[in-house]
Protein backbone atom coordinates (compact mmCIF):
# COMPACT_ATOMS: atom_id res chain seq x y z
CA UNK A 1 0.00 0.00 0.00
CA UNK A 2 2.81 2.43 0.90
CA UNK A 3 4.49 1.77 -2.45
CA UNK A 4 1.27 2.35 -4.38
CA UNK A 5 0.57 5.58 -2.53
CA UNK A 6 4.14 6.78 -3.09
CA UNK A 7 4.01 6.01 -6.82
CA UNK A 8 0.69 7.84 -7.15
CA UNK A 9 2.09 10.82 -5.26
CA UNK A 10 5.18 10.94 -7.50
CA UNK A 11 3.01 10.87 -10.60
CA UNK A 12 0.69 13.62 -9.35
CA UNK A 13 3.61 15.75 -8.20
CA UNK A 14 5.15 15.49 -11.66
CA UNK A 15 1.89 16.50 -13.32
CA UNK A 16 1.62 19.46 -10.94
CA UNK A 17 5.20 20.55 -11.64
CA UNK A 18 4.86 20.58 -15.43
CA UNK A 19 2.54 23.60 -15.85
CA UNK A 20 4.49 25.69 -13.34
CA UNK A 21 7.72 24.89 -15.16
CA UNK A 22 6.19 25.84 -18.49
CA UNK A 23 4.84 29.09 -17.04
CA UNK A 24 8.17 30.07 -15.47
CA UNK A 25 9.59 32.11 -18.41
CA UNK A 26 6.40 34.18 -18.54
CA UNK A 27 6.47 34.91 -14.80
CA UNK A 28 10.11 36.03 -14.60
CA UNK A 29 9.36 39.67 -15.61
CA UNK A 30 7.06 40.05 -12.57
CA UNK A 31 8.33 41.60 -9.31
CA UNK A 32 10.12 39.08 -7.11
CA UNK A 33 7.48 38.89 -4.37
CA UNK A 34 4.65 38.64 -6.92
CA UNK A 35 6.16 35.67 -8.72
CA UNK A 36 7.06 34.11 -5.36
CA UNK A 37 3.40 34.16 -4.33
CA UNK A 38 2.43 32.52 -7.61
CA UNK A 39 5.03 29.77 -7.53
CA UNK A 40 4.26 28.91 -3.88
CA UNK A 41 0.90 27.66 -5.13
CA UNK A 42 2.92 24.69 -6.40
CA UNK A 43 4.20 24.05 -2.87
CA UNK A 44 0.70 24.25 -1.44
CA UNK A 45 -0.39 21.67 -4.00
CA UNK A 46 2.45 19.30 -3.08
CA UNK A 47 1.74 19.57 0.65
CA UNK A 48 -1.95 18.95 -0.05
CA UNK A 49 -1.06 15.81 -2.04
CA UNK A 50 1.29 14.66 0.72
CA UNK A 51 -1.54 14.94 3.24
CA UNK A 52 -4.28 13.36 1.14
CA UNK A 53 -2.32 10.72 -0.78
CA UNK A 54 0.53 9.87 1.60
CA UNK A 55 -1.11 10.67 4.94
CA UNK A 56 1.72 13.03 5.93
CA UNK A 57 0.49 15.78 8.25
CA UNK A 58 2.47 18.40 10.12
CA UNK A 59 2.23 20.68 13.13
CA UNK A 60 4.29 23.74 13.99
CA UNK A 61 5.48 24.67 17.47
CA UNK A 62 6.78 28.19 18.10
CA UNK A 63 4.84 30.21 15.55
CA UNK A 64 5.10 33.16 17.95
CA UNK A 65 8.80 33.31 17.06
CA UNK A 66 8.20 34.04 13.38
CA UNK A 67 10.10 37.24 12.53
CA UNK A 68 8.39 40.53 11.74
CA UNK A 69 11.45 41.64 9.75
CA UNK A 70 13.80 39.63 7.50
CA UNK A 71 16.03 37.10 9.25
CA UNK A 72 18.27 34.18 8.38
CA UNK A 73 16.55 30.84 9.02
CA UNK A 74 18.96 28.04 9.89
CA UNK A 75 17.18 24.70 9.80
CA UNK A 76 17.78 20.99 10.06
CA UNK A 77 17.79 19.26 6.67
CA UNK A 78 16.46 15.69 6.44
CA UNK A 79 14.33 15.53 3.30
CA UNK A 80 12.75 17.39 0.41
CA UNK A 81 9.62 17.96 2.52
CA UNK A 82 10.96 20.97 4.41
CA UNK A 83 12.12 22.72 1.25
CA UNK A 84 8.48 22.70 0.15
CA UNK A 85 6.58 23.05 3.43
CA UNK A 86 8.67 25.93 4.76
CA UNK A 87 7.26 28.05 1.93
CA UNK A 88 3.88 27.77 3.65
CA UNK A 89 5.11 28.20 7.24
CA UNK A 90 7.50 31.15 7.00
CA UNK A 91 7.37 34.62 5.45
CA UNK A 92 8.70 34.82 1.86
CA UNK A 93 11.88 32.76 1.70
CA UNK A 94 14.93 32.85 -0.50
CA UNK A 95 17.03 29.74 -0.05
CA UNK A 96 20.58 28.76 -0.83
CA UNK A 97 20.94 26.04 -3.45
CA UNK A 98 23.43 24.58 -5.89
CA UNK A 99 23.51 26.60 -9.11
CA UNK A 100 23.26 23.51 -11.32
CA UNK A 101 19.77 22.73 -9.96
CA UNK A 102 18.44 25.68 -11.97
CA UNK A 103 19.38 23.85 -15.17
CA UNK A 104 16.95 20.96 -14.57
CA UNK A 105 14.09 21.22 -17.12
CA UNK A 106 10.76 22.37 -15.66
CA UNK A 107 11.78 21.85 -12.02
CA UNK A 108 14.79 24.15 -12.23
CA UNK A 109 12.84 26.76 -14.17
CA UNK A 110 10.31 26.85 -11.36
CA UNK A 111 13.06 27.09 -8.74
CA UNK A 112 14.32 30.25 -10.42
CA UNK A 113 11.02 31.96 -9.57
CA UNK A 114 11.83 31.69 -5.85
CA UNK A 115 14.70 34.19 -6.27
CA UNK A 116 17.14 31.66 -4.76
CA UNK A 117 20.75 32.28 -3.81
CA UNK A 118 22.45 30.06 -6.37
CA UNK A 119 26.04 29.22 -5.53
CA UNK A 120 28.89 27.02 -6.71
CA UNK A 121 29.54 24.95 -3.59
CA UNK A 122 32.93 23.89 -4.89
CA UNK A 123 34.14 27.49 -5.01
CA UNK A 124 35.34 27.63 -1.38
CA UNK A 125 35.53 31.17 0.02
CA UNK A 126 34.04 32.50 -3.21
CA UNK A 127 30.84 30.58 -2.39
CA UNK A 128 30.78 32.30 1.01
CA UNK A 129 31.05 35.65 -0.76
CA UNK A 130 28.19 34.69 -3.08
CA UNK A 131 26.00 33.91 -0.07
CA UNK A 132 26.85 37.25 1.55
CA UNK A 133 26.28 39.40 -1.56
CA UNK A 134 23.11 37.70 -2.80
CA UNK A 135 21.81 37.17 0.75
CA UNK A 136 22.05 40.86 1.57
CA UNK A 137 20.10 41.66 -1.60
CA UNK A 138 17.32 39.22 -0.71
CA UNK A 139 17.07 40.49 2.87
CA UNK A 140 16.81 44.06 1.60
CA UNK A 141 14.07 42.94 -0.79
CA UNK A 142 12.00 41.66 2.14
CA UNK A 143 12.87 37.95 2.00
CA UNK A 144 14.03 35.78 4.85
CA UNK A 145 16.99 33.66 3.80
CA UNK A 146 16.79 29.90 4.45
CA UNK A 147 20.08 28.07 4.89
CA UNK A 148 20.58 24.41 5.77
CA UNK A 149 23.84 24.70 7.72
CA UNK A 150 24.68 21.01 7.41
CA UNK A 151 24.83 21.55 3.65
CA UNK A 152 23.12 18.28 2.76
CA UNK A 153 20.35 16.05 4.05
CA UNK A 154 21.13 13.90 7.08
CA UNK A 155 19.19 10.92 8.37
CA UNK A 156 17.11 11.17 11.57
CA UNK A 157 19.32 10.76 14.60
CA UNK A 158 22.44 11.93 12.78
CA UNK A 159 24.27 15.26 12.89
CA UNK A 160 26.12 16.72 9.94
CA UNK A 161 28.98 19.20 9.83
CA UNK A 162 27.53 22.66 10.48
CA UNK A 163 28.93 25.20 8.03
CA UNK A 164 29.47 28.89 8.67
CA UNK A 165 27.69 30.43 5.64
CA UNK A 166 24.28 31.21 7.14
CA UNK A 167 25.65 32.57 10.41
CA UNK A 168 28.21 34.60 8.46
CA UNK A 169 25.45 36.19 6.39
CA UNK A 170 23.35 37.01 9.46
CA UNK A 171 26.27 38.70 11.22
CA UNK A 172 27.36 40.65 8.13
CA UNK A 173 23.78 41.78 7.39
CA UNK A 174 22.98 42.55 11.02
CA UNK A 175 19.88 40.35 11.20
CA UNK A 176 18.96 37.63 13.71
CA UNK A 177 19.11 33.89 13.16
CA UNK A 178 15.96 31.81 13.53
CA UNK A 179 16.79 28.18 14.45
CA UNK A 180 14.45 25.42 13.28
CA UNK A 181 14.29 21.71 14.09
CA UNK A 182 11.99 19.06 12.60
CA UNK A 183 11.69 15.31 12.06
CA UNK A 184 10.52 15.19 8.42
CA UNK A 185 12.99 12.42 7.61
CA UNK A 186 10.87 9.91 9.51
CA UNK A 187 8.03 10.20 7.01
CA UNK A 188 9.89 11.44 3.93
CA UNK A 189 13.35 9.78 3.98
CA UNK A 190 16.26 11.08 1.95
CA UNK A 191 16.24 9.79 -1.66
CA UNK A 192 13.56 7.22 -0.82
CA UNK A 193 10.69 6.45 -3.17
CA UNK A 194 8.49 5.07 -0.40
CA UNK A 195 7.17 7.68 2.02
CA UNK A 196 5.36 6.81 5.24
CA UNK A 197 2.23 8.36 6.79
CA UNK A 198 2.58 10.22 10.05
CA UNK A 199 2.86 13.63 11.65
CA UNK A 200 5.91 15.84 11.15
CA UNK A 201 6.72 18.28 13.94
CA UNK A 202 8.45 21.57 13.15
CA UNK A 203 9.88 23.54 16.08
CA UNK A 204 10.77 27.21 15.59
CA UNK A 205 13.10 28.59 18.22
CA UNK A 206 13.52 32.12 19.59
CA UNK A 207 15.56 34.47 17.42
CA UNK A 208 19.30 34.40 18.13
CA UNK A 209 20.84 37.90 18.10
CA UNK A 210 23.95 38.55 16.03
CA UNK A 211 24.89 42.17 16.83
CA UNK A 212 28.49 42.46 18.00
CA UNK A 213 29.05 38.70 17.78
CA UNK A 214 31.30 36.45 15.71
CA UNK A 215 29.74 34.11 13.16
CA UNK A 216 31.38 31.11 14.85
CA UNK A 217 29.71 32.03 18.15
CA UNK A 218 26.30 32.45 16.50
CA UNK A 219 26.69 29.15 14.67
CA UNK A 220 27.66 27.31 17.88
CA UNK A 221 24.57 28.63 19.70
CA UNK A 222 22.35 27.75 16.73
CA UNK A 223 23.78 24.25 16.50
CA UNK A 224 23.29 23.66 20.22
CA UNK A 225 19.65 24.79 20.07
CA UNK A 226 18.81 22.72 16.99
CA UNK A 227 20.45 19.52 18.23
CA UNK A 228 18.86 19.86 21.67
CA UNK A 229 15.45 20.29 20.03
CA UNK A 230 16.16 17.29 17.80
CA UNK A 231 16.93 15.18 20.87
CA UNK A 232 13.53 16.18 22.32
CA UNK A 233 11.85 15.14 19.07
Q: Tell which residue, 47, 3, 39, has the closest CA to residue 19.
A: 39
Give the range of the structural domain holding residue 188, as residue numbers without chain letter.
Answer: 2-232
pLDDT at residue number 120: 77
Q: Is the pLDDT of residue 96 over 70?
A: yes
Question: Is the confidence at residue 109, as pLDDT, over 80?
Answer: no
CATH number at residue 153: 3.40.1130
Instruction: Lowest mean pLDDT of 120-129, 156-165, 169-178, name the range.
Output: 120-129
Number of structural domains the chain divides into? 1
Give me the pLDDT at residue 187, please: 97
Res. 2 pLDDT band, cuts 50 70 90 = confident
* Residues in Cβ contact with 198 at an 8 Å cutoff, skipping those fewer than 6 apart: 55, 56, 57, 186, 187
**How confident is the model over 177-191, as pLDDT tens digits?**
999 999 999 999 998
* Average pLDDT of the residues of the chain: 92
Question: In the predicted model, is pLDDT for residue 118 greater than 80?
Answer: yes
| pLDDT confidence tier of residue 122, bands split at 50, 70 and 90 | low
Amino acid sequence: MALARSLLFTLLQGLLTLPFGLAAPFLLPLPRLARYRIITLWGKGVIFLARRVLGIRHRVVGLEHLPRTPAVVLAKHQSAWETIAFQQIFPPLSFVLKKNLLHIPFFGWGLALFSPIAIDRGAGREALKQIEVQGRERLQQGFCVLVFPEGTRVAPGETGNYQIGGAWLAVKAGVPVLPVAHNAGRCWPKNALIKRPGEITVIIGPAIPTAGRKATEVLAETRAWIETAMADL
